[in-house]
Amino acid sequence: MQQTFESAVANVWQAAWDRGEVEALETLVSDDYLRVSKSSGKAANLSQLQGEILAIREAFPDLVTTVDAVVVDGTSAAIFWTSTGTHTAPFMGVPATGRQVQTRGSNFVTIEAGRIKQETVTWDGSELLQSLGIRHLGDALGEADGGVVVDSLSDEPDLEVMKGFNRQFVTGVTVVTTKEGGVPKGLAVNAYASVSLEPPLVMVCIQKTSSTYPALFASTHLGINILSNEQKPTVSTFASKSADKFAEIDWHAGPHGSPLIDGSSAALEAEIRERFQAKTHTIFICRVRHAEVSETAPMVYQAGRFFDSEGLSQL
C-alpha cells in the first residue's frame, strides 16, 4: 500500500532527525527543494539542511522527534513537530551545558508531485539555544524582527573603516580569568566596560575561538584584572595561546576562586549573570562581588600600541 504524505513525513522526519539517516530526505523533497527560515530569512537547499541536521544531532545525540500533526490542504501543508534532546557537545559556539531541551516548530510546505518543493520554518538553531536559557542577540544582529530581516550588508561600513574606527578608541588592557578543574586560565581583553554602579555590573566580550572560552562559559564567576604600566610582559603572555600562562605569574584567588593577578592596577571578581550570544563572540554580563584597587597606574592601549598612563599630558 502506498504510504500517505502524512506518514511519509513522520517516517522521514524520524529517520533524519532521530537516527541521522539524512539521505531519507531525498525521498520526501524535490530536486530544487528550498527551505527558508522565517526568523533569519536565510534559505538552505537539501544538502545544507542535511548538514544542519547532522550538526544538531552531534550536539543533541539523543534527539527524539514527534510529528504532532500534518495538515494537508491541496498543494500545501503544515507540519507541527516537537523535539527533545540533551545538549552534550558544543552547538553554535556554545559549549555543552548537559541541559535537556524541548523545542517546537511548524513548517509550511508546498507540495509538487507528492514531494516538498519549498518549506518555510518558524524555527532555527538559535531557538535551541533559547530553550537552553542562552540568550541570543538576534535583534541587534538584524536577524529577527517579526520575521523581517532589518539590516542588510549594503548599509554597513566597510570592514577596514570599522577597524579604523576601533583603532581610534583608547582603552586599558584587562586579563579575564577563570579556573578549569582547578587550573587557572585567562586571556587579554580590552572589550571591557562598566555597565552600572548600582548594582555593580560589568561586561566583557570574548571571542568563541578563545581556548579560555569553554571554561569561562561554564564558570559561575570570573576575574577581571586591569593591567598596570609594569605588566607589559603579562599582556604578551595572556594574548598568547600558551598552555600554562600562569607559570610565571603571581596571583591569588578571589573569594569565589577566580585568579586575581598580583601587581594589577585593580582586580575584581564577578558572578556571571548573562551570556549573550553574538555570533563570533559572547558578551558576559557580570555582577561584581569583590574588588581590589591599588595605587599602581594602569596601562593604556590604542591601535595595537601600549602606553604608560603616567606619561600622558592632561588636556
Ligand X SMILES: Cc1cc2nc3c(=O)[nH]c(=O)nc-3n(C[C@H](O)[C@H](O)[C@H](O)COP(=O)(O)O)c2cc1C
Residue ranges in contact with ligand X by CB under 6 A: 173, 187-191, 205-207, 210-212, 235, 238-241, 301
At its nearest, how many Å lie between ligand X and the CB of residue 189? Answer: 4
Strands 259-261, 192-196: pairing is unpaired
Could you identify the residue written with the cell 535537556?
Answer: 100
Interatomic CA distance for residues 166 and 34, integer angstroms: 39
At its nearest, how many Å lie between ligand X and the CB of residue 177? Answer: 10
How many other CB atoms sit within 10 Å of the CB of residue 20? 17
Residue 118 or 177 with smaller CB distance to ligand X:
177
At its nearest, how many Å lie between ligand X and the CB of residue 20? Answer: 31
At its nearest, how many Å lie between ligand X and the CB of residue 195? Answer: 15
Dihedrals phi, psi of 56, to nearest 5 degrees: -65, -40
Residue 85 or 184 with smaller CB distance to ligand X:
184
H/E run at residue 167 = helix 159-167
Q: 97-135 in b/e burial notation, b at 16+ Cβ within 10 A?
A: beeebebeebbbbbbeeebbbbbbbebbbbbbbebbebb
Reduce the secondary structure of 110-126 to three states and give it as a string: EEECCEEEEEEECCCHH
Residue 116 or 173 with smaller CB distance to ligand X:
173
Residue 141 or 239 with smaller CB distance to ligand X:
239
Residue 7 or 242 with smaller CB distance to ligand X:
242
At its nearest, how many Å lie between ligand X and the CB of residue 248? Answer: 15
Interatomic CA distance for residues 170 and 275, integer angstroms: 25
Residue 103 or 178 with smaller CB distance to ligand X:
178
At its nearest, how many Å lie between ligand X and the CB of residue 173? Answer: 5
Contact between 188 and 173 under an 8 Å Cβ cutoff? The reply is: yes
**Which residue's CB atom is positioned nearest to ligand X?**
191
At its nearest, how many Å lie between ligand X and the CB of residue 96? Answer: 18
Interatomic CA distance for residues 284 and 208, integer angstroms: 12
Residue 152 or 209 with smaller CB distance to ligand X:
209
Interatomic CA distance for residues 127 and 104, integer angstroms: 9
